[in-house]
Structures are given as C-alpha cells and as structure tokens.
Structure 1
Amino acid sequence: MSSKTLEQEFPIHWLVWHNSYDELDQLLKTNGEQDKEGLDPRGRTPLHLAVTLGHFESTRVLLRHGANANTENAGYWTALQEAVSTGDPELVQLVLSYQDRQRQSKRNVSIPELLEKLKESPDFYVEMKWEFTSWVPVVSRMCPSDTYRVWKSGSAVRIDTTLLGFDNMKWQRGKRSYIFQGSGNSATVMEVDHDRGEVYAETMELTVSPSDIGLPSEEAVAARLMSPIVTTYIDTDKISFERNKSGIWGWRSDKSETVNGYECKVFGASNVELITKTRTEHLTEQDKKRCKKVNRTPLESFLGVAEEHSKREAGASNGDLMSVMYNPSNITPEEYFNVHIDLGDRDIGRPMDQTTKTQKFKANLWLCESYPLTLQDQVIPIIDLMAANNAHFRKLRDFITLQLPAGFPVKIEIPLFHILNARITFGNIFASEEPIPGVECVRENDEMTCSVDESSFFPPPSYANIGEAHQSRLRDEDDELLQFAIQQSLLEAGTENDQVTFWEALNRSKPTSNNLHSHEDQLLQRAIAESLQSGVISPGSEENPETGPSTTTTQPLPRDTSLDDDLRLALEMSQRELEDTEKRRREEEEELNRIIQLSLTDK
C-alpha cells in the first residue's frame, strides 16, 4: 500500500505521525467532519497517537478541537496515562487540564439528561446497602458498610450517604445528602452537609460551557510522574452466568433465596477476572527503588494474586529525558498504518515496563422477576448520577449493564479491588419495611407504590447556603492513584520492628502505642502473620489449579509472644470451622453415594 493511499485513508493520524501540527490545525478548521476519534490499525485515536509519540504541538491542536481525553485504547490506558508514560510534565499538565474540563462538561450535560429521563418513570424510594468485604479471614469485620437512601419524585432525586469514600487513606464518614433537581435543559445539584449545617449548590445548563478549570498544579503533575501508572478493570469478555445449585440433590435443584421478602433466583457469574496493570517506565531509578517490592506484600501473597511481567524492558527514566525514544523500533509510517503488516512485539512509545495482576472471582446475583423497580428506567439513571463522582458506583454500573439473566438484581456481589469486594442489597422498597419521613407507602390490590413529598428535596431552612459546590468536594476517586496508595501504604506503614494492622495499613499510619486500634486488629494481623510463617499459607505462594502450589522464600515476620495464647485460640477456632465444613461435605457425599447405591440395588 503506497504512502499516498495510507495518507488518504488516515489523514489525521498521518499528520499526527509527522507532527505537522499547522496542517493538522488547518484540516480540523476547514473540515470539521473529520473523525477525531477514529482508530488507526493499531487501535489508537489521533490523540492517543500524538501523546504516545510525545508530540506536544499535535496533542494541543487535537485537544483544542475537542478530541476526547477520556477514551481508552485497546490496552485500557487513557491519553493521560500515556502522557505520564512519556515523563514529560508539560504534556501531562496539558492533557490533565483538558481531561478535567471534559469531565466537567460531560457532567453538565449528562445530569439534566438523566433527570429528564427519570421524570417519566414512577416515583419510588429504595435503600441500597453496601457492604465491603475481604477475602482475608476476619478482615470483613473491619470493612465499612453504608446504606444509600434514594428518593425520586418527578425529575428530582435525593441520595443520602454516611460513607463518603477514601481521603488520605482513611474512610471518611459524615451525613450527606446529594439532591438533584431538573428543570428543562438545566439542573441544580446540592450537596447538603448535615454535620455542619451547610449547603453547596451548583446550577448546570446544557447550553453553557464549563468554566475554565485552569492548569493543574505542579504538585498534581509531579504526583502522577512519581507514581506508577495503574489501570484496574473487569474483563467482561469471558463472563458467563449460570444458576447456582443447592442441597444434597444440588445437581438437580436450582438455588433460590428470599432477600428482603422477595423470592430470588441465585446465579453465579463465572470467569470474572479483575485485572490490574501497572507501568513504571516513566519513573526515575530513585522512584522505582521507592516503589519496587522485593517480595509481594504478605496481604497479596495471602490472597494469591497472580502476577505476570511484560516482555518489554524499561526505557529511559524521566531523569534522563534526552535519551527517551518514542519510536525505539524505528517503525516506518508505511509499516504502522498498513493493517496487513504484523509488528509483533514492536511498538511506538517509550519501551514499556509493565506488570499485570489477575485475580479471579465468582460473583453472585440474586435476581427477582417480580421486583417493583425496573433496572433500566429507574435504577441505572440513579447509578449513573453517582458514578460521575464515585468509583465504586462506576464498577457497579459496568457490571449490571452486562447482559444479565432475566430479573432485577436485588442483591449483587462484585469485586472492587484485589483486597475489597462489595455486596449491594436493595431493600425497604417504597418504605414498606420501615417508615421514612416524607414517603407514604401505597398498597392497592396486589400492587405497591409510594408517594414522595416535595419537602424531601429541600434542605432545612436553618442551613447556611455556602455557594456553588466546588469540584474537589464531589470527589472523583481515581482508581489508579487509590490502588497505588493502598499498595504503598501496605509497604510503608511498618518497619522491621513494627507490627502493622491491616486497618493501619489502609490508613497509611505508623503503629504507635496510641494508635493501635483494638485488640481484635492486633489479633487479626498476628493471625495473618502466623499463618504466613506456619505454612497455613506460604508467603509468595500461588496455587494454580492445573500445576498446583508454588512457593517463594521470604523473610519471616516478627513474633509478638504477648498475643500467642489468643492467636493459637483464633487459629484453632478457624481450623475447627474448616474441619467442620469439610466433615459436612464428606457426609453429604457419603449420603448421596448410599442413596445412589440403594437405587441401583432396587433395580
């Protein structure tokens, strides 16, 4: 294929490749119909290509003409993450500022649209209980829970919460209401702080462009350049749903359970893979030493997180930018844009230093075909409202928008991170189980509805009106930074002589005589450490169902003899529970075998 043909087929990409930014600007000005989000044969948009090649001028032109800074490429990397990989602070600052601006613009457009969509659906009240759990024994007791209370009337929505999220590695608690009121092409969003008696309000209109957010601070840019690039996502390609079985005749009986008074079919989602990819090619050697883990953390070993390293070697660090090569394989444009040419492991951009971790889960769903809410018209718009500023709701949205079996997911379990799972349960529908001020449950014949008083969508008159809600208050949890912060806190929270509890690790605090949270926390950490030392679970070991367990030698953890008695008791109780479970399983199998033998004898 000739260069002229490739240039005609990929006009924007071709100009980006050669960094012909003046011609690119003229093309986008005179022909606005050009597809700025089209993919080249390697799966990159023009913006991704410009950023990966480190072409600052072409990147700026594309962003000025509205190229989407929030799209992901085939590897689930955003343009901002690719900019960070170059180690260029000016490029990172540029892309980050437009990403923030575009997110604000999308929020301004999407919220009025969602409220208008909700206007036509029946009014309702429902509670969503979020329970955070972990796969480490006993840790679930320490994980928080919260109940989101949702009121909807016409185009007005109110969502109450007490768990505000992560901030500086601490679970933030408080009483907040988020009130959304739609009116035509505009919407008012209020954040009501009940602890302080303050109201922050913001008005959004579809026709109004977002205010200029300004350039990100040097500190915000430096924080990204000094941290690994992390992306976490659920691989939805292989997920399949099948009905769970129950009882001794499990191979015949479909499992059903009653959840908050509604009969539900229980389904399991198999092949749910939570994938975390981490890149460090942009880090200086000093940063790499700070971030590098000689061995995996005890918690990661305990969870048996599979880990793979990419085949590519790391390129120059950002401490030696002059030696950065954005096309180290010397790929020609004719090779790059020709779909028939297999580049193999060769690629543009700085040579990638990537680690991939994969954790498999079996998610569960409790589906009811007679639940009085509709997922598509009533619940998903609510989740979309919260997903704009909450990473947990984004993961819930990604999961429930899959092709689920028939029914409403009254209860659902999904993975959030490698250390946290979430169980979401819908309840108190129409305030039928527990009365709620401003909500009247209406029962007619076999149907149930409710009426919601308008007063539910107005803050108390005694509260102080502070003004417009600032974007930083409606926090957008950044998965990549949160993941890295958790990993780093697990590494840095303790020293060789310190015993760190899991909760202290999440809080990124050093253990002292004043901040040891509780005897149970200490016992939990000692139980984990003891199990890692005693061989109950070997540090660094992973068990592959096909190849069996493998073991990596690690340094022993320090002992605290003051807790030995309680520790032994905890381990004994855990062992007895495992033995009882195994005993019941064997008894069921033996009973089943006897029944089968009797049936054969009768014949």
Structure 2
Amino acid sequence: MQKLSLHEIEQYSHSPVQHAVARHDYAALKSILAKLPKLPKAGEVVTEEESEIVEAAADTVASIIDRRDLPNREIPLHLAVRLGDAASVEMLMASGADWSLQNEQGWSALQEAVCVREEGIAMIITRFYQPLAWAKWCRRLPRITGTMRRMRDLYMEITFDFESSIIPFISRIAPSDTYRIWKRGSNLRADMTLAGFDGFKIQRADQSFLFLGDGTEDGKVPPGSLLVLTHKDKEITNALEGAGAQPSEAEIAQEVAAMSQTNMYRPGIDVTQAELIPQLTWRRQEKTEMVGSWKAKIYEMHHVHISVRSRRVPGALTDEEFFAAETDAQADVEDDYSELLTEEEKQQLEDALTMDALDPLEDDNGDVQ
C-alpha cells in the first residue's frame, strides 16, 4: 500500500472523502459514508414520484463520494486504487461509488486497477458493479417509462455505413444497417440485422428488440423488460434476465483475468464538430424519400472523429503482438469476401489493412486515430 506525503495529502483537504482516503483514515471514511442517504434496493422504487425523490438522494451521494474537482479529476475510488488501498475501495463501492467515471486521462477506476495489476482490487470493483448498475436502472425505470408515455409516438429509420480515404472499398465490407424504430406509449421496438462480428466477418441476424415499459397485461413479462426476438429461429429471450445477480467468485476472477490478457483499449467518438449536411439532387434541391407514409429529408453527418486510446498492461500482449495476431486473422480475408471483391480489390484491401495494423497513427497522448 502506497502512502502520500503531507504536501500531497493537503491537496485533498477540501474533500472529506478524498482526504480520509489519502490518509488511510478508515474511521473517518466510515463515519462520512455512514451519514449518506441509504438508496433503495432494486425493485423497491415503484412510482415516478418515488423515483424522483430517490434520484435526488443519489445525486447527494454522488456529490460526496464521486467528487471530481481534484487533481487529475480523480474520484475517491481512483485515489484508493492508485494507493493500492483495498479496504477503502470496498467501503466506497459498498456505498455506491461510480466505478465507470473516468479520470483526466480517460480511464475508469476498474481500468486503472487492471493496468497496475491490482487484481484483488479489480475483483472488489467487479463484485459490486453489476448489482449497483442494476439498482440504478431499477430506480430510474419509473421516470423513464413516465417520460416515454408523455412523448409523442413515433417511427424512424436510421441508416449507417462507412467510407474511408485510407482503406479502399470499406463501404462494401464494413458493417452497415438500417435501424427501424417504433415508439408506442412506454414501449419501444427496434429492428436490425447487424448481430456482431466473427473476426473480420460480419454476422447478420434478423432480430427485433422490444422494450416493454409497462410489461404485458397478463403479468408474465414484468415492466422494464427487454426482449430479443430472433425471427429465423423463432426465439424470444429476455436480455435483462439475471441482471443484478451477484456473480460468483469464479466468474469475477475469470472476468478480471480476461481484462488482464491484453492491453487496455478505449474507443472514443467526438461529435462536438459534427455537422448535418442535407443531400441534394442534381437540381440542388434537398433530397427526400418516403419513410412509411412520411416524406423525409436525407442528411449526411460530417466531421465525426473516432479514436482508440491504448494503455500498456504489464504481462499482457504488446501492441505489436496484438496487431500481428490481427494481421494473421486477415489471412482468411479472401475467403470472407470472395463474393464481394475482385482479386485486385482484395489485394488492395489486404495491403491497406496490413499497413494500418503495423503502423497505426498515434497522437502525442498515445491515441490511435
């Protein structure tokens, strides 16, 4: 366990929780946390009015234990992880600390624990975060469904695809889809076909996601359920079934071990400079198309920046090993896309992917653009 100098400790004097963590003063920390409002467990908040009251109490808790006006924008949990203080980490998590908040470098407390090989602390955070996330969702659910009921019903379509000036023909092999979304009362339905990836191969599935804010009339499906319908197999599953259950120690250890096997990567998307540009016809008029019975305008979104930040995890695969493995996986690209690309196009694609893997573009902070 690390200790701070007196000068370093004084940097946290204006935040009681951080100050107690910095001094390893467990009695003071326990006293502060004991005075915080006790938030209800999952399922105890039923009405929208109760949800609003509880959220106000949750904001009070967060303002104290997730305070961020400190060096490096660290919340107390970050500081406890940096000091290797497992006792403080457990007390903070038990009181509802938000493990997902990022510090100035963009890393959560869990990621920091993994990166400094504090497996025991990472397991403490992992043990708490799923039940905490489920309790937060349950106490917000009445407000979400209440807001949805007051919104106008709608239908919309969102189509996306990719273009790149670096990788040729990316639009022909990159994921693309059209999301069809319906909103009726407190219920939401989204249809899509993009199911995931198997290496470089896109997995497709005709599926629908149903969020039932009020559940079903017969009570067989509870309010706030998220159902996944796979039309080809005629299967219906509840995506939230088992959510909030306490994971076993074996599951926790397995999850932490999996996070420790490769370097840490954090994708990011910056839309602060994004701009919606209307598509025009050859007559320079705004292009339109029919969406159901509605006449809709068509826009393109420009200046969206996607970045990937990486961080070394001691003992994990290096970036070179990771990208080499990815390059080996590209050996099957000819089979994967044999029906999409010509021989010349496949060769150009392999060259572009290999160059990008071996020589990623990085900024001064280690961000891969």
Q: Is the TM-score greater than 0.5? A: yes
* Contact preservation (8 Å) 1:162, 1:173: yes
Structure 2 CA distance for partners of 1:488 and 1:100, relative to 1, 3 Å: farther
Q: Which of structures 1 and 2 has the bigger CA Rg?
A: 1
Structure 2 CA distance for partners of 1:528 and 1:227, relative to 1, 3 Å: same
Partner of 2:228: 191
Determine the C-alpha separation between the residues in 2 that align with 1:152 and 1:540. Answer: 45
Partner of 1:234: 269
Partner of 2:207: 176
* Contact preservation (8 Å) 2:188, 2:212: yes
Pairing partner for 2:150 from 97, 120, 123: 120
Partner of 1:154: 185
Determine the C-alpha separation between the residues in 2 that align with 1:164 and 1:68. Answer: 30
Residue identity in the other structure for 1:181: L
Determine the C-alpha separation between the residues in 1 that align with 2:267 and 2:198. Answer: 19
Partner of 2:308: 276
Structure 2 CA distance for partners of 1:10 and 1:199, relative to 1, 3 Å: same
Partner of 2:171: 140
Pairing partner for 2:320 from 286, 292, 296: 292
Determine the C-alpha separation between the residues in 2 that align with 1:30 and 1:541. Answer: 50
Give runs of aligned pairs for residues 14-413 of structure 1, distance below 5 A. Answer: 14-32=19-37, 35-39=64-68, 40-135=70-165, 136-166=167-197, 170-183=201-214, 186-201=223-238, 210-215=244-249, 216-236=251-271, 239=273, 241=275, 257-261=286-290, 264=297, 269-270=302-303, 272-280=304-312, 282-284=313-315, 287-288=317-318, 291-292=319-320
Determine the C-alpha separation between the residues in 1 that align with 2:23 and 2:201. Answer: 47
Query: Cα offset for 1:219?
Result: 3.0
* Contact preservation (8 Å) 2:67, 2:76: yes
Structure 2 CA distance for partners of 1:489 and 1:126, relative to 1, 3 Å: farther
TM-score (norm 2): 0.70
Instruction: Give unpaired runs (5+ residues) of structure 1.
Output: 294-483, 495-499, 505-510, 545-603
Instruction: Give unpaired runs (5+ residues) of structure 2.
Output: 1-5, 38-59, 216-221, 364-369
Residue identity in the other structure for 2:261: M
Structure 2 CA distance for partners of 1:128 and 1:14, relative to 1, 3 Å: same
The CA deviation string for residues 278-307 of structure 1, in whole angstroms up to 9 with x for no partner, is 110x322x733xx326xxxxxxxxxxxxxx
* Contact preservation (8 Å) 2:123, 2:256: yes
Determine the C-alpha separation between the residues in 2 that align with 1:6 and 1:183. Answer: 49
* Contact preservation (8 Å) 1:37, 1:67: yes
Structure 2 CA distance for partners of 1:190 and 1:274, relative to 1, 3 Å: closer
Determine the C-alpha separation between the residues in 2 that align with 1:529 and 1:7. Answer: 52
CA root-mean-square deviation: 4.1
* Contact preservation (8 Å) 1:188, 1:203: yes
* Contact preservation (8 Å) 2:160, 2:176: yes
SS at the partner of 2:146? Answer: helix
Residue identity in the other structure for 1:187: G
Structure 2 CA distance for partners of 1:201 and 1:28, relative to 1, 3 Å: same
* Contact preservation (8 Å) 1:256, 1:266: no
Determine the C-alpha separation between the residues in 1 that align with 2:34 and 2:65. Answer: 12
Query: Cα offset for 1:530?
Result: 6.6
The CA deviation string for residues 384-411 of structure 1, in whole angstroms up to 9 with x for no partner, is xxxxxxxxxxxxxxxxxxxxxxxxxxxx
TM-score (norm 1): 0.45
* Contact preservation (8 Å) 1:124, 1:153: yes
Structure 2 CA distance for partners of 1:200 and 1:236, relative to 1, 3 Å: closer
Determine the C-alpha separation between the residues in 2 that align with 1:541 and 1:165. Answer: 24
Stretch moving more, 221-230 or 34-43: 34-43
Residue identity in the other structure for 2:176: S
* Contact preservation (8 Å) 1:83, 1:95: no
Determine the C-alpha separation between the residues in 2 that align with 1:148 and 1:268. Answer: 16
Partner of 1:492: 328
Residue identity in the other structure for 2:132: Q
Determine the C-alpha separation between the residues in 1 that align with 2:336 and 2:300. Answer: 42
Give aligned-pair identity as a percent. 23
SS at the partner of 2:310? Answer: strand
Is residue 17 of structure 2 the alignment partner of residue 12 of structure 1? yes
Query: Cα offset for 1:147?
Result: 2.4
